[in-house]
Amino acid sequence: MNAMTILYEGLHCLFCAWLTYWLIGKTIAAPHHPMLYATTVAVVCLLLGDAYWLAHLIIRGNVPEILSACDVAYVGMWLIFHAALPRPQKLSGRQAALAALMGVFTVLNGVGWTVWTQHWLLNLIWTIPLFLLAVRSALLLDVRLNSLRGYLFLPLPGLLLAAETASFLWPEFWDSLNVLCAILWLCSLMLFAWLLKGKAPFRQLPIPAWMLLMVYCECASLLSSDWAYFVFQVLLAGTIGCFARIVGKEGEPLYAL
Amino acid sequence: MPSDYLLACIGGPLLAILLLHGRGRRLFVALVGGMFAAFLCGAISGFLARMVQYDAMAAVLYISPLVEEGMKMVLFLLFLFVCRLREAELPEIAVGIGIGFSLLESIALLFTAGEWQLIVLFSKAFCSALIHVACALMLILSIQTIRRMAMETVSGYLGVYAVTVTVHALYNLLVSQAGISLILGYALPTAVIILWKFTPRIQRTN
């Protein structure tokens, strides 16, 4: 356990504590707003997971074992986000195509985590809520994959799959492939955000699109190591922070998708 | 957990269930339900701990919160769907289940206490009641909110379950060591109960 990880977890915990405090104030002021309530509970989950991790390190002198309360809390966050999304009413080909893409993407990530960590149960528990959230969010979005943005984005997940597979197959090139994977993840994340936003300004990104970005950041961080892991975790925290700010400030209009 | 503990404290509440009607009876049913749940949790946690070869401390930190909160959740859902409770009755049921749960744990604590001072034993039993009631309240009120807001129920319930498991596990972790950690541990359920008591007042003020 290095100092960088402890510092990061401490700062992350402080950030979540501040966000929780702000969101609880907003929820008390507007108690019948489902997405605000769900976001508050989800951020509380994140805070509790961080607090447990730090408390375990301080009290027991080591990090929690696999499948501890931390994992339960983080998985709970994704489940709460999924619970807050409405059921899709009408299905079009575009929605189905994006949902299929995101479903395959999260399942392949789950396979990658299992191959890497050898913990199939833990990774199954992580993959299911991420898969559900990604698919439902995609079903609520009207994104054209057969556009210039789509054509630019689509090769990148394939390249990522190839690079990640190569890093597992040839461990002697692990370091250089790791850097390549991190760059590919970052490029694909930016192109994905560009694809999701369409022609509207970034601040008008609909709620399911924010959810997809969060899932993407989580997948990127879980398949990265060293500095890349922290970069994607910071991006995830930033995405959750932006999302919470939008839900807290603009409220109900954004819930109407 | 030996069945003598359950038999030792179930007689009085059972008599109350036979004699009372309405809300009083429901409260005692919740109490006895909590005791049964605690009894089952002891057996299930012990079995799981032996299966994965965890020692007592690891079982308390990693297994007990998952099993205990899971049993409480099953009990709540039974109450919610079988009894069709009104919203005002939910906190009573939550407190009943939490107290029943902690009552049986306190009996078990008494048998294994050894040379503890009376005041230490009392404070441990009191704080055990606090965490069980706090988690029970969190579960039942969140479940009700999820139903009221028409959210996706299964993932919502599981998400709420995850929150209570983490709070319970954090409490178990904090009270496992003396000093400031112990005080923080006891403060955690107290803060949850205070928040529950004062939230309606803050909402009215706003």
Residue A53: name the closest of B169, B147, B32 by CA: B169
What ipTM describes this predicted complex?
0.88
Per-residue pLDDT at B184 exceeds 80:
yes
Chain A closest-CA separation from residue B10 CA (Å) = 32
Chain A closest-CA separation from residue B169 CA (Å) = 6
Q: Which long-range contacts (CB under 8 A, 24 or more apart) does A122-131 make?
A: A122/A66, A122/A67, A122/A71, A125/A67, A125/A71, A125/A75, A126/A71, A126/A74, A126/A75, A126/A222, A129/A75, A129/A78, A129/A79, A129/A82, A129/B155, A130/A78, A130/A106, A130/A215, A130/A218, A130/A219, A131/A103, A131/A106, A131/A107
Residues of B in contact with A83 (CB under 8 A): 146, 151-153, 155-156, 159
Where is pLDDT greater, at A257 or B33? B33
Tell me, what's the pLDDT at A139?
Answer: 92
Q: Which of B62, B68, B166, B171 is the best substitution to test chain A (most A C-beta atoms within 10 A)?
A: B166
- State the CB neighbour count (10 A cutoff) for residue B203: 12
Per the prediction, chain A carries an average pLDDT of 88
Question: Angle at CA A80, nearest 5°, toward A255 and A123?
Answer: 130
Domain span at residue A105?
Answer: 3-255
CB pairs A-B closer than 8 Å: 106
A129 to B155: CB separation less than 8 angstroms, yes or no: yes
A83 to B155: CB separation less than 8 angstroms, yes or no: yes
What is the Cα–Cα distance from A10 to B6, expressed in whole angstroms?
A: 43
Tell me, what's the pLDDT at A256?
Answer: 40
Per-residue pLDDT tens over the stretch A9-36: 899 999 999 999 999 888 888 777 888 8
What is the Cα–Cα distance from A26 to B135, expressed in whole angstroms?
A: 23
Share of chain A above pLDDT 70, in %: 96
- Smallest Cβ–Cβ distance between A68 and the set B62, B158, B162 belongs to B62
Residues of B in contact with A49 (CB under 8 A): 166
Tell me, what's the pLDDT at B202?
Answer: 63
Query: Count of domains in chain A?
Result: 1
* B183 contact A CB<8A: no
Give me the mean pLDDT over the A133-160 stretch.
Answer: 90
Chain A closest-CA separation from residue B174 CA (Å) = 7
Residues of B in contact with A72 (CB under 8 A): 66, 162, 165-166, 169
Give the HSE-up count for residue A137: Cα atoms under 13 Å, Cβ half-sphere: 28
Chain A closest-CA separation from residue B73 CA (Å) = 15
Q: Report H helices in chain B.
A: 3-19, 22-51, 56-58, 64-83, 90-112, 118-148, 153-174, 180-205
Q: Which of A20, A26, A41 is the best substitution to test chain B (most B C-beta atoms within 10 A)?
A: A41
- Smallest Cβ–Cβ distance between B169 and the set A31, A69, A83 belongs to A69
Chain B closest-CA separation from residue A60 CA (Å) = 9
Tell me, what's the pLDDT at A82?
Answer: 92
Local confidence band at A67 (pLDDT 50, 70, 90 cut-offs): confident
Query: Count of domains in chain B?
Result: 1
Tell me, what's the pLDDT at A53?
Answer: 92
Tell me, what's the pLDDT at A218?
Answer: 92
Domain span at residue B39?
Answer: 3-205
Q: Nearest residue of A to residue B200 by CA position?
A: A28
Per-residue pLDDT at A257 exceeds 50:
no
Residues of B in contact with A87 (CB under 8 A): 152
